[in-house]
Structure 1
């Protein structure tokens, strides 16, 4: 089972990697401009502030936006960007293995608990009726994380697999229909389903209120793999400009920005996960 799953993960990630990067300019790490790949419009207010502070330190940050979870790593590997900041340890490690790469995490950024949002008429877990439909992200890492969330919420039970899939569900008391869809489409499905597990970037883009979620992933010692990182190509991971960016990012001012604009996301560089 694990071997088949690994082959499936590799195939999916490799296929995505072939997608062309919309920003094909070469890496600029040799200059004062650092290109950082991000997915969607993640933490826009935080990055705007970091960009302004970095400029005062003589470092120009240029954000390069991508629209799927694999392009920023492909672009980093090929040297089209200098850093990326959008993924957790688990995703980076899985991507490296699937793509024979060695992209390196050089700094912790945040941890973003995933959430289960209720569909029409569903404001709490008990509102989910027998036979209801739950949509989850369909990329291997987030799919497994979503299924684990549903198990923690008491809706299903799954096998103890590194990357569980719907086929690994061992108990489903409410006979729920678990439907994997593209991660960017999970929030859009809420009008027609009982619930959806939505990643934070998708929830932000869809203007979902994180306080309206009917279940939130607990943060504890098992959450370390979900800590987001800044990743670099090991060929130039010691660039002095990168160290300046990390110092600016991992600051009290950045913490205050998260508290103000993104309270659902937690600064992780000094978090004590117990």
Structure 2
């Protein structure tokens, strides 16, 4: 059994310039094959943005024990794993939540499909040298400025009773939806990668879990986080995703379901320092959530 890990740290600009080339000459056959087939021609090529995490090494071990040949490819940004999947460079990816996928599908006229849920990573507010929200009124809070995470970050502050919206219940509020007169704090949207720097300078900041890890910030230092078990959290369920024609590929599903093995989950918990919440939803439930999010995205 052969397991290959390819660390493709190529930037989006380079990939866009050179094109996404399939890893093997068999990719076109795999992409156009019978969706009902459980056969997999060649290794299962899996894309992610955090291949260095322990969970991926453990997944490799579990895949080998299950008789699956896999190849893990790491990408340096959040756009190219879906592009690579669409163009046949990958067979599946696992790096995104359903909200991000809905935005990608609508924006690119795509039909990428979730097959197995993985986890929800709570989004949290951090404030250097503070262990509560006491005294935060009047502060300006740094939040990620990308559309997918900005709305969620604003809702974190709504749940913390720091921000009031002009209209309640918005899934993806924008800064324009904030009632500034009724709110207790202001927000400063910045690039997600800059939120740890803002935190380091003493500014309260909402920081994505992946950037916490890179900046060496303990996620347990959060002064507030959203509730991963609430209905409002459904858009942020992470999942293994495939092309629509592979939605019934039993070999890929078998690999994806290994993510819920005790061994992989122990590694996920270690990687996330106990903040990850395992999610098990059926493929049909995931698709229903995605359909709802895509409709909302089209109407926005």
Matches within 5 A, 1:194-209: 194-209=203-218
TM-score normalised per structure 2: 0.76
Partner Cα separation in structure 1 for residue 207 and residue 104 of structure 2 = 21
- How far 1:172 sits from its partner (Å)? 5.2
In structure 2, the partner of 1:85 is: 94
Moved over 4 A (4+): 16-19, 27-30, 172-175
- Summarize the Cα distance change of 1:133–1:40 in structure 2 as closer, same or farther, 3 Å threshold: farther
> Contact 1:183 / 1:198 at 8 angstroms: preserved in 2?
yes
| Equivalent residue in structure 2 for 1:38, among 21, 41, 48 | 48
Whole-Å separation in 2 of the counterparts to 1:237 and 1:169: 39
Match of 2:159 among 152, 158, 171: 152
SS in 2 for 1:170: coil
Corresponding residue of 1:225: 235
Change (3 A) 1:107 1:97: same
Q: Partners in 2 of 1:269 and 1:143 — Cα distance?
A: 26
Q: Which runs of 5+ in 1 are unaligned?
A: 1-15
Which residue is equivalent to 2:294? none
| Superposed displacement of residue 93, structure 1 | 1.4
C-alpha contact (below 8 Å) 2:45/2:72 kept by paired residues: yes
Within-5 A mapping of 1:16-31: 20=15, 24-26=20-22, 28=27, 30-31=40-41
What is the CA-CA distance between 1:136 and the residue it aligns to? 0.8
In the alignment, which residue of structure 2 is the partner of 1:124?
132
Aligned residues: 253
Alignment pair present for 1:109 and 2:130:
no
Deviations 1:73-109 (A, max 9, x none): 1111111211110111121112111110000001001
- 1:181 maps to which residue? 190
Task: Give 1 or 2: higher strand fraction.
Answer: 1
Q: After superposition, what is the alpha-carbon deviation per residue over 1:135-185, rounded to whole angstroms, capped at 9, x for unaligned?
A: 111110100000000111111112343421111111455663311111122
3-state DSSP class of the match of 1:86? strand
Runs of 5+ consecutive residues of structure 2 not aligned to the other structure: 1-10, 31-39, 283-300
Aligned: 1:265 with 2:276 = yes
Out of 78, 83, 98, the residue aligned to residue 107 of structure 2 is 98
Deviation at 1:23, TM superposition (A): 8.8
Deviates more, 1:193-202 or 1:255-264: 255-264
CA contact (8 A) 2:164 2:182 kept: no
TM-score, structure 1 normalization = 0.83
Secondary structure (helix, strand or coil) at the match of 1:243 reads: helix
Looking at structure 2, the residues matched to 148 and 174 of structure 1 have their Cα atoms a distance apart, in angstroms, of 13
Contact 1:41 1:201 in 2 (8 A): no
2:262: which partner in 1? 252
Structure-2 separation of matches of 1:56 and 1:148: 42
User: CA distance change for structure 1 residues 209 and 55 in 2, over 3 Å: closer, same or farther?
Assistant: same
**Structure 2 CA distance for partners of 1:191 and 1:129, relative to 1, 3 Å:** farther
Conserved? CA contact 1:133–1:179, under 8 Å: yes
Distance in 2 (CA, whole Å) between partners of 1:244 and 1:168 is 43
